[in-house]
Amino acid sequence: MAANALILSGGGARAAYQAGVLLALSELLPCLENPFPIICGTSAGAINALAMAAHPGTFNQSAQDLAQTWRELEVEKVYKTGWGDLTKGLFKVAGSLFHQGVARGKPLGLLDNSPLRDLLSGVIPFDNIQNRVDAGLLEAVCVTALGYSSGESVSFFQGNPALRGWRRARRVGTPSLLTVEHLLASSAIPAVFPAVPLNKEFFGDGAMRQLAPLSPALHLGASRMFVIGVSHNPMKTRWFKPKRALDHPPSIAQILGQMFNSAFIDTLEGDLEHLDRTNMLLKLAADKELCEKTYNLRPVDTLVITPSKPIDKIAGRRVRDLPKSLRFFMRAVGATARGGGASVASYLLFSHQYCNELMELGYQDAMWEKAAIEDFFSHPCRLPE
């Protein structure tokens, strides 16, 4: 039987888009109690993944509750935003320069995300993950983080005892009892949020060096993957778009934004292209049974939902919703539409206005793909008109 996997990529506050897609999916497939026995998430996508995997109710109920959490989200529930907190973070980063770049005491991070720990501990029943595994409702849930010492992309998974870990070039899969620490590690944007100690090593955002973001789901037995990205794909709209001439060099935020994009976005798009090519080659293979039994190569169906509008532009309009201290900092480094660095803001804008707009976009994009969703699941229940 084909195993469906849900793949949720990283992207900070952009992950609100995923909640909108999942909400639409729950309405389009009301009679599917558990459409995804395998759930994999990275960075903020890992938070959505565990929220869905640990929920005690149906898929519809878990999607509703996840959407409600994002609707009520405020920046202060993710990281501290006071002038004193921001100044303390800046001084901590500056002070590390006098100690060979190493922070004294707590791990280095510009922002204090201790409120996020409290939020996640309150909304995700981590103990229920094993209950769902034991009940046969969940095959596996996986969270990926980067080990700063080893440089390895480590996929921590909890699921069926028959599942085994794996080791590939710079990629490791290890069975674990997932906790809030794994989520904080996977979503620890480098230099912005502090690294988290796990298994005698400090870990950071799982999107970094994740060269094959689809790989964990395949190792866990997925044969069909529903992927929710967080990047607008201009290839869907037009092949060529004239470039606008810039009247100034790139700002700090614009440079950082491209660095974040390379970590959070580019690897997923590249891995999807690689999977498409592999599927095409397998169709041409003369001995398909040999490919699967000897080389463990099998065709994998995918459905990808990505934003139909550039999220950067939405973030550029919504910087005004941030607290004054954050607005000042964002403008100082050029993280605005005018400064060309709105991409950085798009990862840190955890205001309910911004998140609700992304959720609405995700909901609409999924509804537009109703026919593709129906075909992907091939479920006998009648979809609403």
- Residues annotated as catalytic (active site), given as ranges: 43, 205
Contact, 4 vs 224, CB < 8 A?
Answer: yes
Is the separation of the CB atoms in 40 and 220 below 8 Å? yes
For residues 355 and 73, the answer to whether their CB atoms sit within 8 Å is yes
List residues bridging with 228 in a β-sheet: 8, 305
> Residue 351 is encoded by which pair of tokens?
């205001």
- What string of H, E and C letters represents the secondary structure of the chain? CCCEEEEECCCHHHHHHHHHHHHHHHHHCCCCCCCCCEEEEECHHHHHHHHHHHCCCCHHHHHHHHHHHHHCCCHHHCCCCCHHHHHHHHHHHHHHHHHCCCCCCCCCCCCCCHHHHHHHHHHCCCCHHHHHHHCCCCCEEEEEEEECCCCCEEEEEEECCCCCCEEECCEEEEECCCCHHHHHHHCCCCCCCCCEEECCEEEECCCCCCCCCCHHHHHCCCCEEEEECCCCCHHHCCCCCCCCCCCCCCCHHHHHHHHHHHHHCHHHHHHHHHHHHHHHHHHHCCCHHHHHHHHCCCCCEEEEECCCCCHHHHHHHHHHHCCHHHHHHHHHHCCCCCCCCHHHHHHHCCCHHHHHHHHHHHHHHHHHCHHHHHHHHCCCCCCCC
Q: Which region, left, alpha or beta, applies to residue 296 given φ > 0 means left and ψ of -120 to 50 means alpha?
A: left
Phi–psi pair at 155, nearest 5 degrees: -100, 105
Nearest to 79 by CA among 18, 13, 145: 13
